[in-house]
Amino acid sequence: MRYQINCLRLCFSLYFLILSAPASAALVVGATSPEFITQAAQAGVEFKFSLAETLKKGPVVLYFYPKAFTSGCTIEAHNFAEATPKFNALGATVVGISNDDIETLKKFSVDACRDKFAVAADSGARIMKQYDAALWIKPDMADRISYVISPQGKIIYAYSSLSPDQHVENTLKAVEQWHVLQKK
């Protein structure tokens, strides 16, 4: 009986250790960003999103999030919405991506994203797999990972944390640093 209790304690300890461990982005700085085209929505309007076409305008902040209308994802979307004018002033485009269907994302783009930036549908989780951004415990759902991609298609910043709190601040700093380097 004591052995079983100790085993249960060990299992629970390992379980909580794994859940509390920070996630890690698989694509490293300097890696080539996989190209993709998918359905997206902004301000409730559906359109085709092409990473290659968007990169022609400047850097892209591509952030993966688990599920629209969940508390953490809504907080993160609100934070990105508030910061979108700052990203745009630096020439950057923000786009969120999840495995939600396009009808859900049309509503999310209005409610949570406040019409400020696009959210893209990753049907079948193929894009998140290309970016190694699938949640390890539930591979059809995105992990919370943010990338900054240069106009040349290179990863210039990656941040991974299940907490939505630092994604906007960290990616904005990365875009600001990129912007300063472009002026030199």
Q: What pLDDT, in 10s, does the model give residues 140-182?
A: 899 999 999 999 999 999 999 999 999 999 999 999 999 999 8
Whether 18 is covered by a domain: the verdict is: no
Whether 3 is covered by a domain: the verdict is: no
pLDDT at 182: 87
Whether 13 is covered by a domain: the verdict is: no
Query: Per the structure, how many domains does the chain have?
Result: 1
pLDDT at 118: 98
- Closest-CA residue to 95 (of 130, 49, 140): 49
* Residue ranges of the chain whose pLDDT lies below 50: 3-25
pLDDT at 158: 95
Domain ranges, residue 122? 23-183
Taking a C-beta distance cutoff of 8 angstroms, is the pair 96, 66 a contact?
Answer: no
Residues 6+ positions from 100 with CB-CB distance below 8 Å: 67, 68, 108, 119, 121
pLDDT at 72: 94
- Closest-CA residue to 176 (of 146, 148, 147): 148
pLDDT at 2: 52
- Closest-CA residue to 76 (of 51, 54, 57, 95): 95
